[in-house]
Amino acid sequence: MRLNIALLPGDGIGPEILEQGRRVIEAVCAGFGHVFEGSTGLVGASAIEAVGDPYPQETHRLCLASDAVFFGAIGHPRYDNDPSAGVRPEQGLLAMRKRLGLYANLRPVTTFPALLQRSPLRSHLVEGADFLCIRELTGGLYFGRPQGRSEDGNTAYDTCVYTRGEIERILRLAYGYAQRRRGKLTLVDKANVLATSRLWRQTARELEREYPGVETEYLFVDNAAMRLIQAPRSFDVMVTENMFGDILTDEASVITGSLGLLPSASVGLHTSVFEPIHGSYPQAAGKNIANPLATILSAALMFEYAFRLPEEAGVIRRAVEASIEAGRVTEDIVAEGSRACSTSEVGDFVCSQIRALTQAPGKAKAP
């Protein structure tokens, strides 16, 4: 199979972690007989500096022409809190989501037995946690208009807008995943306060009768935030609007023990984008210390969702588990008293595990 993938390293640690993901893709393709074709594009601060646009038209064309997009991270501190900048790197990410029609972000949260002690939560609470967060990506406060500040700069305003069609689209996607998982869907909103949330809840109540095999529950966002900490195993599929999903999925990352362990997939109308959920971590850029495992696990999602190759995805996940169990990890999750590995050393180990798994006696390669 030929895999045509757009590579968008982005900013900060993006190039370093994406390089390890690229090496993993190459190792898997070599082991299963696939052909990997990767082309690199500019996005974020690096694109602003090169061409003045955080999501250039050339990058957009590359994404449209690819079977999947593999993305690193966006953001640079020199654009933070600088009204004179005019354009921000993060605008490139929003533009990519909007122009590619990426209406749904999928973030699986799964604990690793070898890292239960790394979670700030008690082991008995997080052991066995396995749920999928589905975040709406192209509506809400991040895209609503009007948006801005008053002339004197002392008042700022954002507008949250959702249509029934946007809500129904992502709810049907979420119900589909709930049907394939454990049959439970949790809608998170703030329907006691927000008009948009009331539309979300009304639409869900109309749809739930079409999915009698799925249990539907409704939680206010503050209650959901509390239950993520108190009882993470109570969730199966969680679906919510853009800003709530942004916050809750970052909160959920503590369950696994590190933000550097959570992958994501953004799916929609044209192509899909696969990326770690963490940011650009500019303080670590160029130091070869960032955790590449979320990026590598995002590659596993890409094999599974974009190319329908679950066996290849499983090999990547087994290699990541082996890396964690062997303690071949970066400083954010290394055991006390043990030596932390560099970003590239973790990549080396994972690739070696993939080669061992795919070259084992009797291992059949894909045609």
Residues acting as catalytic residues: 142, 190, 222, 246, 250
CA atoms 210, 213, 218, 224: torsion sign: negative
Do you find a cis peptide bond into 361, omega within 30 degrees of 0?
no
Listed in sequence order, the residues at least 6 apart from 362 whose beta carbon sits closer than 8 Å to its beta carbon are none
Q: Do 362 and 38 meet the contact criterion of CB atoms below 8 Å apart?
A: no
Of 249, 251, 258, 255, residue with least CA distance to 332? 258
* Through-space distance between the first and last CA atoms of the chain, rounded to whole angstroms: 7
Q: At what angle do helices 310-325 and 14-32 cross, to 10 degrees?
A: 120
Q: Do residues 201 and 185 touch, judged by C-beta distance below 8 A?
A: no
Round to whole Å and give the CA distance between 58 and 67.
16
